[in-house]
Amino acid sequence: MSEVLEVIKKPEIVVSDVDHWRLSNLATAARDRFPDVAEELQAEMVRASIAEAGAMPADVVTMGSVVEFRKDAGEHRRIELVFPGEADIAKSKISILTPIGAALIGLSVGQSIGLRARDGRSQELTVLKVEQPDS
């Protein structure tokens, strides 16, 4: 009997040194309350390339970015990626401590990533547009 192991290659991501430090600490602190998403966020920080905050490309999703993305082959969404205390679904402010938030961080326009939603369904997100916060 042979088993087929599905291997999903994740795209390369880049995270600012400031976001990397804050998000790594957040993932560690959230491990008890949100173990699955904290583990996923920590895994993203481990695999990310790190750049100085001032040298981040404008088309990369960072904390505070407004991101337009497509779910699977259809639904388009526009959200702002925020820290947990700022999350407000009614205002399209999505926490980094959600499967979508953890998946989007570090992606650039045109990149796609697969994720497993909280309901267990597999989804693919494709970044269409990124707007950076005002400095």
CATH of the domain at 83: 3.10.50.30
- Tell me how far apart the alpha carbons of residues 122 and 105 are, in angstroms, rounded to a whole number: 18
- pLDDT for the residue 8: 57
Assigned domain for 6 exists: no
Assigned domain for 23 exists: yes
Assigned domain for 53 exists: yes
What's the average pLDDT block by block, 10 residues per block, for the chain (135 residues)?
53 95 96 91 94 94 97 90 96 95 96 82 91 80
Question: What proportions of the chain, in percent to the nearest 5, are helix, strand and coil?
Answer: 30, 30, 40
Question: What's the domain range around 98?
Answer: 14-131
Number of domains, the chain: 1
- pLDDT for the residue 65: 97
Strands 66-71 and 112-116 come out as unpaired
Assigned domain for 8 exists: no
Look up the pTM and report it.
0.88
Give the tokens for residue 63.
Answer: 């904390």
- pLDDT for the residue 23: 97
Give the tokens for residue 54.
Answer: 């001032």
- pLDDT for the residue 95: 96
Please name the residue that has the structure tokens 């990149």.
111
- pLDDT for the residue 135: 52
Collapsed DSSP state (helix, strand, coil) of residue 65: coil
